Copies of this chain bind each other. A is one copy, B any other.
């Protein structure tokens, strides 16, 4: 059973993840993971911290001579800013916190709920872990999953299909690695200008923008996930994976919310067959998942990201301890992180697809898994 844990505060020493249950013999290179980390740090609308960090993963276990060992994989991403935060974030008693205690919860963050839940006296104890910085190491985990899936030619890519009120048309021909050299990871060149304008305009107003990202998983075999028990359905697992990304407020698959609006005769994907492709569908309104099971078509997921909690434009709040009202207004440099969210969503999608893949095509090493996979494909061709 593939599983992982992540750890790390935003201004602590390092983010760490351990992946357990990963098979042996899978080629993994730190460079491949670093490229995903770079993509997560890119995108128009990001602020200065991205420049400070330039995340690099270190693999501390589970990989030897370029291949996985089957033992747990440790991924670590150091926080380069740590040296400036040692006093405040020190592990040992006697950290020099003093006046630096945070007591003013920012609307739209975990600040209030997290601090009251845990009974903290310093909101920093919430915000350090609730920060989206944690997604850096999730992207590293996802990259390891992608390296595995790539062996089976499963390719997962994310792109931006909306920034604020600017909507894009998806162009899947442009959904390739080159897209991540662009500013917004958006395949619709016609709206790029408007998107950048919208971000700039929001910035001038001290405001922020969210958007919608789409993840496409190509070449996923028919048969991942299962209808037999609710928590093994691939749709449910992917929904949790994406909704668990900070600031995500909605997830849909295929036609998604639109499938609620049109009659059944226009929704369901008709079935066809030819000997080259075996069974396939004449459309993909289901987004590649029916009955909780991948159906052989491209898996299409969309997630809605709310705007970064903006703090230029002052919002009302209350000091947790003094109960004094104040206006939350702190300068920050990001005002749109939608492209980054697309990369995080790719990582989480890759992990969940790898998990379901390994439930169907289990094995202790890549050779065993390939055998199971090939055996299944032979069956599919001959059924």
Contact A230 B118 (CB under 8 A): no
Most buried by B among A14, A90, A250, A252: A250
Contact B318–A279 (Cβ < 8 Å)? yes
A 17-28 binary contact with B (CB < 8 Å = 1; else 0): 110110011010
Nearest-Cβ distance from residue A60 to partner chain B, whole angstroms: 5
Q: Which of A221-253 contact B (CB under 8 A)?
A: 222-223, 226-231, 233, 235-246, 248-253
A193 located at the interface, meaning its Cβ lies under 8 Å from any Cβ of chain B in the complex? no
Interface contact B60-A12, CB-CB below 8 Å: yes
Given contacts A7-B72, A243-B251, contact A227 B16 (CB under 8 A): no
Q: Which of B24, B108, B363 contacts A372 (CB 8 A)?
A: B363
Query: A48-67 toward B: CB 8 Å interface, digit per residue (1/0)?
Result: 00000000001111111111
Q: Of B260, B269, B323, which is within 8 A of A273 by CB?
A: B323
**Residue from the list B14, B206, B239 in contact with A74, Cβ < 8 A:** B14
Give the distance in Å from the alpha carbon of A194 to the alpha carbon of B210 in the complex. 34
Q: Bound complex: CA of A105 vs CA of B290, how far in Å?
A: 12
B295, A112: Cβ atoms closer than 8 Å? yes
Interface string of A88-114 (1 = CB under 8 A from B): 011111110100000001011111111
Residues from 270 to 289 in A contacting B, C-beta threshold 8 Å? 270-273, 279, 281-282, 286-287
Of A123-131, A146-154, A170-178, the one with at least 4 CB within 8 A of chain B: A123-131
Chain B residues within 8 Å of A43, by CB: none
Binds B, one of A34-42, A179-187, A304-312: A304-312
**Once the chains bind, are B5 and A296 in contact (CB under 8 Å)?**
no
Chain B residues whose C-beta falls within 8 Å of the C-beta of A197 in the assembled complex: none
CB-CB under 8 A from A257, the residues of chain B are 212, 249-250, 252, 257, 304
A260-B210 contact given A9-B71, A306-B267, CB 8 Å threshold: yes
In whole angstroms, what is the CA distance A270 to B104 when docked? 12
Chain B residue with the shortest CB-CB distance to A371 = B375
A360 touching B363 in the complex, CB below 8 Å, given contacts A239-B240, A267-B306: yes
A155 lies within 8 A of chain B by Cβ: no
Q: How far is the CA of A206 from the CA of B130 in the complex (A)?
A: 50
With both beta carbons as reference points, the residue of chain B lying nearest to A362 in the complex is identified as: B362
For residue A316, which residue of chain B has the nearest CB?
B270
14 contacts between A and B (CB under 8 A): A7-B73, A24-B120, A64-B125, A65-B95, A66-B93, A110-B290, A116-B383, A165-B262, A207-B265, A208-B264, A239-B243, A263-B310, A268-B315, A368-B372
